[in-house]
Chain A
Amino acid sequence: MNNEKKLTELFGAIEQSEWEKAARDWKEQQPWKEYAQQIAIEVLELLEKSGMSQKAFAEKMKVSPQVVNKWLKGKENFTLETIAKMEFVLGQKLIQITPQQAVPAYVEVILSPLEYCEGPKTKSGQLSFSKTQFFDLHLPYSLAEN
């Protein structure tokens, strides 16, 4: 008797998990999701340091708290427009392209306030960081192909 039959006798009908499909989709989306996750980490940190609630952030971004929740989970394929708006609201650059590194595609995720963007200051106005980190996110395609 195979496991499946025996398990069905003991546990009742066994439904199919959605994991495999979710994992396949995740695998396909991984290149951009890694960016989204890095941005979410930075935004969460900036919100906490500035004392801005997720609700207040949603209001300033003119989106619902549910949309912000999805952003902060690192599951949103952000548009450049959204990123620029987040930078404006948070008063902090989130990404920066380094043109020196054309192949493979290379993006700096800025963890320190190298450059404040024009916009409102955060509530505390006291963002202070000490170092910058860089992440090579290894895109599966090359900018040179475009």
Chain B
Amino acid sequence: MFALKQIVADKLYALKTPDGSDVFHRCFENWQDVLYLHDFFRQHAYALAFYKVDRKTAIRQVLSESKQFFSEILEIINTANHASTLDETIFIPLHNREDFDLPLIETKAYGTISRKCYLRLYAIRLSDGCYIVVGGLIKTTRSLQGGAEGRKMLQTLKKIASFLRKSKFEDAFDIGVLIV
């Protein structure tokens, strides 16, 4: 069904793509690829109205945002003994009403702290500071459900979370919580 690739052991994993890469690496490549972004904003011209910019500006902003975003992740995952930093600085619960106390929650990461940022990553939180990245997208609609790509992302998130729950993934960690 699904296969994983490891970005950093016990910190960051990502779904494997059919071409042998992974969704995290694919986002990184696409969001630093001028030709990809040029074609993307030509096909999603309505997104330019959403951001109130022209295409060249949108491309520059995505390049800049992804540069900042991946530099930050690179720095965090290479910082020893800070297992929770992805929790604090990168990923937040997908739904506002949830928090990190819930097991296997769906999470998102913004390209920058600005609400009007372009980039989103979606992931399942396995335990403190440890995630499986399920995919990422350039936001083109107000809500995730507003576009076909977003709805597909939501479905994949739910599918992976459901698979992990059915497989009792969280049990290994629950015991630790009960003892404490």
Contact = CB atoms under 8 A, between A and B. Distances in A.
Interface string A1-20: 11110110011101111111
A72 interface: yes
Contacts of B77: 20
A41 interface: yes
Contacts of A3: 10, 13, 126-127, 130
Interface stretch (B19-27, B85-93, B110-118, B139-147): B19-27
Interface in A2-40: 2-4, 6-7, 10-12, 14-20, 22-24, 26-27, 30, 33, 37-38, 40
Interface residue range, chain A: 35 or more
Given A14-B5, A16-B5, A17-B25, A41 B60 contact: yes
B24 A17 contact: yes
A69 B38 CA distance: 12
Tell me the dominant secondary structure on chain A's binding face.
helix
Contacts of B24: 17, 19
A14 B6 contact: yes
Given A11-B4, A45-B56, A19 B22 contact: yes
A69 B172 contact: no
A74 interface: yes
Contacts of A55: none
Nearest to A9: B167
A60 interface: no
Interface string B1-31: 0111111111001101000011011001100
Given A3-B10, A22-B28, A23-B74, A30 B67 contact: yes
18 contacts: A2-B10, A3-B126, A6-B172, A7-B4, A14-B5, A15-B16, A17-B24, A18-B25, A19-B22, A19-B25, A20-B8, A22-B25, A27-B71, A27-B74, A37-B32, A37-B34, A41-B56, A74-B32
